[in-house]
A and B are shown apart, each in its own frame.
Chain A
Amino acid sequence: MIIILKKKYKEYEIMKTLLDCEKGCIAQILKLNAKDDLKQRLISFGIMKGSIIEVLEYAPRKSTIEVKIGSMRIALRAQEALLIEVAIV
C-alpha cells in the first residue's frame, strides 16, 4: 500500500506544468490537456507536443507568463500554462 502511494507521489512529482518552470528555464512539451478550441489555438501558435519552450518572464504575481517557441514570443495566462505538461530539458 505504502509503495503504491509512494509511486503515485513520485509520478505526481515528475509531472510538471509550464507554470512550475522558473524564469529562464527551457522545457519540452509532453502533452496538452486543453479542450478542443484552446488546443487548436495553442497548436496554431506552435505550442504542441514535442516543441521546445522557454520561459521568458512572469507578470506580477505569476498571473501571466511570457514564453518563447522558435523565435516567437507568446503571452499565456496562468490557467492556460497549467494545462501544458512539460519536462525540463
Chain B
Amino acid sequence: MSEEKKNCPITAKHIKVALVGQPNVGKSMLINSVSNSHLHVGNFSGVTVDKTEVLFDYKDYHFTVVDLPGTYAFTDYTIEERVTHDYLCAEEYDIIINVIDSTNIEKNLQLTSELLTMSKKIVIALNMSDEAEKEGIKIDVEYMSELLGVSCVKVSAVTKEGIEELIDTVILRHEDTKCKPKLVFSEAVEEEIATIVTYLSRHKYQAANTYRNIAINLLKNNKKTYEKLHDNPIWTELQPILIEASKHIELHHDSDDIKESFAEEYAAFNRGIVAEVVKQKQQIHKKTLTENIDSVLIHKYFGIPIFLFFMWMLFQLTFEIGAIPMDYIDAFFSWFGDTIGATIANDDIRSLIVDGIIAGVGAVVLFVPNIIILFIGIALLESTGYMSRVAFLLDGFFHKFGLHGQSFIPLVTGFGCSIPAYMSARILKNDRDRLLTLFIIGFMSCGARLPVYVLFAGAFFSAQMAGNILFIIYISGAILGLIAAKILKLTAFKGVDEPFVMEMPKYRLPSVKLIWHTVITRTMMYLKKAGTYIAAASMIVWFLSNYPHNEEIEKKYDTQITKVTDIKVKTKLQNKLAEELLGVSYLGQIGKFSEPIFAPLGFDWKMSVALQTGLAAKEVVVSTLGVLYSLGNNVSTNNNSLVNAISKNISFASAVAFIVVIMIYLPCLAASIVFTREAGHIKYFFYLFFFTSIIAYIMAFIAYHIVLIFVSV
C-alpha cells in the first residue's frame, strides 16, 4: 500500500463501512434505504465488476458505505468474489456490516463465520425480517449477539424497520475498542489452535491480527498468512507443528482435504447457532410460491417456449415503444444543428460542429429510448430471479457450443445494441467464458446494421421477399456466432469446462426504486461513454472525408453551379462535386489504396470506403454509399434512387459479399471501445479485430464465388 493511502484522513467522525453478504440477500436494497435519499452514488468500475460507494450523514457522523459484490464464501474464485476478497483484505475501512437473509440463516452464516476470523469490527444485519416473520421464523437476536460476540440487528430494507437501530449500532460498535467475536471449533481443532497460539506467543511474534486468527488461517492453508510467516525465522520450527496439526484434523474428519474439514467445522458451528437462536414453527410441507412458479417456468417442454415468448415481447416493446420518441429526438437534433449552425460564420467550423459532432452524437442519443426499455427489461429479468431459470434451461444447448448458460443474456441483448451487450457480459463469473461471449456478441446483428440490410434487400429482392431475407440474415449471423464460439473454444479459449453451479434464488417482486436506479446509472454510462467516443469518431470521419480541400474541383463546379438555374441540374452538379471531392479526400485515397484488398470480394473503391467508415458506426455505411453514388448527403433507407443506384452499380454477388462483411466485422467504434474496456486489455481488441475481419473476409469470399457460380449457371 502506498504512503499516500495510509495517510488518508479517516477522522473520528468519519465511518467507512464495508457492506458484505451473500448474493440475493438484499444488500443493494438495504443501502438504498439506509442512505434514504442517496446524496451521491458513484460507480467505481474496477476491471470488470463495480463496487458502489454511497455517502450520507447521520447524527454527527459522516458515513461512507461501500457496497461490495455478493459472495458465497470468502474465496477468490470468481471476479466478484475477488473484488470483495481483495477489498476486505487490503483496503482501509472501519467496520463491516454483514447482511444476512433471515429466512436462510444457516447458509448465510457460512460467510459470516469466515468473516469472524478477520479481526475486524462487525455488525450483522438480519435483513428481510418481515419475510421471516411471515414464514414463522423467530430469531432470538440478543442471544445470537451473545453467542457470536457480534451485535446483530433485525432490519427490513422493504419496510425500513430497524434501519436507524442498525446505524446506531454501527456507531456504538465503532466507538467500542474491544471486539471479540467468538467462533468455537471442535475439540481437535481447538487443541491445535491452542498449540500454535502458545508457540506464537512464546516467540512474541509481531502481528496486527490476533494469534488465534493467525493460527486458524494457518490451519486453513491461507496463502497470505503463509507468505507472511514464511520469511520469518520461526517458520522452520512452526512448519512441523503445522504438518502434525493438519494430520490430526484430517484424521478427525476422515478426509484428506483440510479445507473441506474446515468447511465442516464452520457448518457444525453454524448449525449449533441456528439450533440455539432460531425457532421455526413446524410447517406442514406445502408447495411454496416459488415452487409453483418454477413448475411452470422451468417445465421440461413449456419452459423454453415461454422464455422465447418473453424475449419476443421484450424486443417488440423495445422497438415498438422505443420508435415513438425517436422521431422527436431526430427532429430535435436537426433543429439544434440548424440553430447552432446559423450562428457560426466559418464554413469549416460549422460543418465540423453540425455535420460532424451534432449529427454523430445525435445518432447515439437516438437509441437511448430503445436502450432504456431494454435495460428495464433486463433489470426486471434479473431482479425477479427469472434469469437464473433461463440459464438453467439453456445451459445444455449452449454448452454444446462451448458457451455458458448465462451467456444468453448478453447475446440476446446484442440484437439490440452491442454496447449494453458487452456490459451485460459481466454477469459471467469466469474470465474465459466472459471473453468468449464478448468475442461472439458482434455476430448478433445489432439494430444499427438494419438500415444496411434493408437497403440491400430492397435493391435486390421484391418487397415480399425482403422480410424473409432480413430474417435469414439475422439467423445466419446467430448460427455463425455459435460456430465461431465452438471454434474459439477448441482453439483460443481451450481449457477445462467451467463448472455450472448456480443458485436459483427465490422469486421476488422487483422494487421499482432499485430498477429505476440501475437503469438510470447504466443509461447515463451509455450516454457518457458512447457519446464522447462517437463525438470523437464523427470528428475524425468528418475530417477524413472533407480534407484535403481541392480548390480546383470546387472552383470548376462552383462556376458551373452558379450558371445553371434548373434546381434538378443544380443538385446533380452539387452531388457530382461531393463525389469528386470525396474521391480526392483522405477517405477516398484510403478507399482507392485498399481497393486491391477488397477486389477478390467484388468490391469497388466506393464499397471499400463504405465498409471502412462503417468501422465508426454502421449508420454511416448508408450515408457514405449515398454520398459516393452521388445522391447527396441526406439519403435515407427508403430513398428509391439509392436503391436504384445500388442495383445498377453493384452486382448481386458483390452485394451478398458486402452483406456478409457487414454481418460479421466490428460493430462500431463505440462498441469496440466498450469491448476493450470490458475485456480488460487492448490486446483483446486486436484479437477481435483480426478474428472478425478474417472470418468476414473468408465468408464473403466464399459467398461471392458461390453466388457467381449460381448466377453464371
Q: List the interface of chain A (C-beta within 8 A of B).
A: 32, 34, 36-50, 56-61, 63-64, 66, 69-77, 79-80
Contact = CB atoms under 8 A, between A and B. Distances in A.
Interface residues of B, number: 42
Contacts of B255: 49
Given A46-B107, A75-B388, A39 B502 contact: no
Interface in B575-597: none
B294 interface: yes
Given A48-B264, A72-B104, A57 B73 contact: no
B504 A49 contact: no
Contacts of B501: 38, 41-42, 45, 47, 74-77, 80
Contacts of A73: 290, 503-506
B103 A71 contact: yes
A45 B260 contact: no
- For the complex of A and B, list the 7 residue pairs with the smallest distance between their C-beta atoms, beginning with the closest: A63-B396, A44-B73, A77-B500, A73-B504, A44-B72, A43-B263, A75-B392
B499 interface: yes
B396 A61 contact: yes
A75 B104 contact: no
A8 B124 CA distance: 51
Contacts of B110: 44, 46
B103 A74 contact: no
Interface of B: 72-73, 75, 77, 103-104, 106-107, 110, 255, 257, 259-260, 263-264, 267, 290-291, 294, 298, 300-301, 303-304, 388, 391-393, 395-397, 399, 405, 497, 499-506
Contacts of B264: 48-50
A28 B502 CA distance: 20
Contacts of B267: 46, 48
Contacts of B257: 36, 39
A75 B188 CA distance: 35
A38 B73 contact: no
A79 B395 contact: no
Nearest to B505: A73
A6 B519 CA distance: 63
A69 to B, nearest CB: 8
A59 B392 contact: yes
Contact of A75 (B103, B301, B504, B506): B504
Given A57-B298, A64-B392, A73-B505, 9 more contacts: A41-B501, A43-B263, A56-B291, A56-B294, A59-B393, A59-B395, A61-B396, A64-B395, A80-B499
A49 B260 contact: yes
Contacts of B395: 59, 63-64, 75, 77
A52 to B, nearest CB: 12
Find the residue from B106, B396, B501, B503 having the highest chain A CB count within 10 A: B501
Contact of B396 (A37, A40, A43, A59): A59
A75 B259 contact: no
B596 to A, nearest CB: 49
Contacts of B304: 60
A77 B300 contact: no
9 contacts: A46-B107, A49-B260, A59-B303, A61-B396, A73-B505, A74-B504, A75-B392, A77-B395, A79-B497
